[in-house]
Amino acid sequence: MKADPQLPRVGDGHDALNASFSTSYAGVLAFIAVAAEGSFARAGDRLGIGRSAVSRSVQKLENQLGVRLFLRTTRSTTLTGEGRMFLEGCSPGVDRILQALEQMRELREGPPRGHLRIGASYGFGRRVIAPLLAAFRSEYPEVSVELLLDEQAPDLSAGRIDVAFRDGVLDDSQVIAKQLVPMQVVVCASPGYAQRHGLPATVEELFGHACIGHRLAGGRLRRWAFRVDGSEVHPQPDAALVFNDADLALQAVVDGLGIAQLPGYQVRDALRAGTVLTCLDRYAPQDRGHYLCYLSRRQLPKRIRAFIDFSTQRVRALELDTAAQRAWA
């Protein structure tokens, strides 16, 4: 395959292709400015460079293209036929660039707008985040929202997630994590189950009960977690029932089929309604939280900043860790 004699060659440690691109880019900018202003001097003022620099850039571009772009006299500067053709070819790209610049300016200076992708677990997304979206859209009507539910921790970069909500103990240096509220987990059963079987008073007694497990997206069972004598322990009692959806696990508890350990936000309505009771509260684990996560603090788009502020205020106002009805401690 023969080399194209029109293409620059790369050698001697100098990237001629990059140099050619740089020359073309500077030349095109200078060409467009001269065509718009009708003068090399005024084009230089517009670009913030000298007239001679504009002239050199245009001349290099003309040499690259092998055509003359301007007819220059002491009185005027006009486009040649080839110059008009080249300008017509450049115009769509220039218009797109100007449009993009204007959009960025509007995003920075105008009201929040654009598309927002939010990630959350099924339970937290359904019960906490989804109910907030109507109010957020009412306040920021130019922001469209996409809520994506997944039990696995999202990859914010690969998934193009702007904001993610994660539960539990978070240790991820790749993201900025802001704790919204502490995360309470409770062991709960229905009053009917408690009447028929009693409730465990210690962690060891849990093994004598019908336990309900929650299988995570990766296939493993969610670990039970307790704090006993200052240390966290993770017993794994045999499960009489297993679900991969926390709502189904809660429904099984309400139906009196067994005992489960679930997040406080998941069971708060049932606790208030009296359809479940809690036990083993004195052994509740600590150092957990509901976290709002995003990738960078620098130059956050206004739509992301607006949602972070909005959701932080609204979630904290929900009082997710409401006092449980305690039948057995």
The pLDDT of residue 18: 52
The pLDDT of residue 3: 43
Mean pLDDT in consecutive groups of 10 residues from the start of the chain, 329 residues:
42 47 73 87 86 90 88 83 87 72 64 89 87 95 91 76 79 74 88 94 92 83 87 88 89 94 87 91 82 80 90 83 42
The pLDDT of residue 96: 76
The pLDDT of residue 173: 61
Q: Domains of the chain by range and CATH?
A: 16-109 (1.10.10.10), 114-181+289-317 (3.40.190.10), 185-283 (3.40.190.290)
The pLDDT of residue 263: 86
Phi, psi for residue 19 in degrees, rounded to 5: -65, -40
The pLDDT of residue 11: 44
Phi, psi for residue 160 in degrees, rounded to 5: 55, 45
The pLDDT of residue 143: 92
The pLDDT of residue 191: 95
